[in-house]
Amino acid sequence: MSRTWDATEPLVADTNWGRLPDGWDYVEVAGVGVDVADNVYVFNRGEHPVIVFDREGNFLRSWGEGVFSRPHGLHVGHDGMVYCTDEGDHTVRKCTPEGRVLLEIGLPNQPSPHMSGLPFNRCTHTALSPEGDIYVSDGYGNACVHKYAQEGKHLFSWGAPGIEPGNFNVAHNIVCDDLGIVYVADRENHRVQRFDGNGRYLGQWNNIHRPCALCATRGSNPVFIVGELGPSMPVNVRTPNLGLRVSVLDQDGNTIERFGKGVPGRGPEHFIAPHGIAVDSRGTIYVGEVAAAAWPRYNPGTPKPDDLVLLRRLLRKT
């Protein structure tokens, strides 16, 4: 999507989008991606890891059964391939839209030492450079970004635990724009950091709370859609206006618009745990939530409802 972002009409939520086959369950929606035809790929932790819908929410196909351990991040590259990051077995897989694995990076179930800077220990997400190189955020058991050539050769890595520029405290998501600038959602440092393709620090955005989900529109003037998690500590877990929203930012990190009440809830304008995000060619935003895992944080002692919303789309009011 390269057209100017239109925020003249408010975003509204469609929480009933996407019709699953009878008896299917997402369990958790960890990642979302959209291809050039506006088909939506839902990376989830149920029995069918990748579920594909058309733009209207009609089921098209599923794949990945028996392949993935714990789905985490998914994005559809400008090459049309689907890049799936498996936190559970420490791998990244490049797949065709039909699910055939073309490339596997990392050794399944053989993590690198904790915080060693070596790939991978609970990797989180991927991004594709304009030239086709692959960036991997390695954010739970590591604090770095790795760059690979498109055939899977490791080129270099950068980052270390900490709070200084170029350090990370849960590098949770990553995206690359059409100019080759790399953006990393440094979740627990409450910032998005910007780097060039060689890992050189360019700056950061700070006006966001626990940025968890991240995607960008295409073209020379991209905007960035950020899913923000809410507070995690008992002392502030019910404090309003700390995340639990979707923010749209320009290239300088200025806020264009925000959607969400900023407090946990089940209504159409509430989030519990926005974890994966994607945008289609018309500016419709798809948000996947790991709401089942986050439910007890906000509702201690209350059983998780069967109809908990795990996937929603945000579109313009018509």
pLDDT at 3 > cutoff 70: no
Give yes or no for residue 32 having a pLDDT over 90: yes
Residue type, 253: G
Tens-place pLDDT, residues 219-246: 989 999 999 999 989 999 989 999 999 9
Across the strands, what pairs with 86? Answer: 71, 91
Return d(Cα 74, Cα 76) in angstroms, integer.
7
Residue written as token pair 């039909």: 98
Q: Return the pLDDT at 4.
A: 81
In order of 96, 163, 248, the CA distances from 275 in angstroms are 23, 22, 15
Assign a CATH topology to domain 11-316: Neuraminidase (2.120.10)
Residue-wise pLDDT tens digits, 141-153: 999 999 999 999 9
Over the chain, what is the mean pLDDT?
Answer: 96
Beta bridge partners of 94: 83, 103
Separation of alpha carbons 53 and 314, rounded Å: 16
Report the relative pairing of strands 245-249 and 224-228 from DSSP bridges. Answer: antiparallel
At 160-199, the pLDDT tens digits run: 999 999 999 999 999 999 999 999 999 999 999 999 999 9
pLDDT at 318 over 70: no
* pLDDT at 2 > cutoff 90: no
Q: What end-to-end distance do the CA atoms of the chain give, in Å? A: 20
CA 113 to chain centre: 25
Average pLDDT estimate for 37-51: 98
Mean pLDDT of 120-136: 98
Q: Considering the chain, what percentage of its residues have pLDDT values greater than 70?
A: 99
Sketch the domain layout of the chain as residue ranges: 11-316
Res 133 pLDDT > 70: yes
> What's the pLDDT score for residue 104?
98
Residue percentage of the chain with pLDDT more than 90: 95
Nearest to 311 by CA among 64, 44, 72, 105: 44
